[in-house]
Amino acid sequence: RRCTRKIFFVRPVMDCYTGYEDTSITVTPFIPPPAVVAPKPKVDLSSLITRDWNAEFQELIERTESDSNKELLRVQALRALCEEFAAVATKGGKKIIEELGKDVKTIPPITDQVGGIAGGQKYFCDSIFFKFPTDSYGLYGGEE
């Protein structure tokens, strides 16, 4: 019996000049590439994690404080964590983009180690997983 359910990727459109997210949504039907099999991961990324950003974020989100002073400290810590994550992610993302097309990279791609079928280069830097997408299989409707 064949599955007739259609799968769609829904993704916001990012304005590459301003960095702001466009309010329109691009809906692309998922058509799997022929005979593409995702390779099994060859490396355990958990050994590369030096900081668990998500665990820190979840702990601050889930913590409840009855005292208003402690609640203020929790919110300030949450803001500081978000600002630090944004700064670290921005620095890593800029470095990856600057090194596109270069032979020697300070942040080498780990695409072969983590697998996947959608294409694109994958990177891991400062305990953050980055993906620089390309439309090598026609899944996203083009490179633009």
Q: What is the pLDDT of residue 74?
A: 92
Q: Is the pLDDT of residue 128 over 50?
A: yes
Region 128-132 average pLDDT: 87
10 band by pLDDT with thresholds 50, 70 and 90: very low
Alpha-carbon distance of 52 to 43, in angstroms, equals 18
CA torsion through residues 17, 22, 28, 30, sign: positive
Helix, strand, coil percent values for the chain (each to nearest 5) = 35, 20, 50
Q: What is the pLDDT of residue 78?
A: 93
For 2, residues 6+ apart whose C-beta sits below 8 A from its C-beta are none
Nearest to 106 by CA among 87, 120, 126, 86: 126
Residue 77 vs residue 4, higher pLDDT? 77
Q: Is the pLDDT of residue 140 over 90?
A: no
62-108 per-position pLDDT tens digit: 998 889 999 999 999 999 999 999 999 999 999 999 998 888 888 88
Alpha-carbon distance of 124 to 95, in angstroms, equals 12
Model pTM above 0.85 = no
8 band by pLDDT with thresholds 50, 70 and 90: very low
Region 115-121 average pLDDT: 77
The answer to whether the CB of 137 falls within 8 A of the CB of 59 is no
Q: Is the pLDDT of residue 11 over 50?
A: no
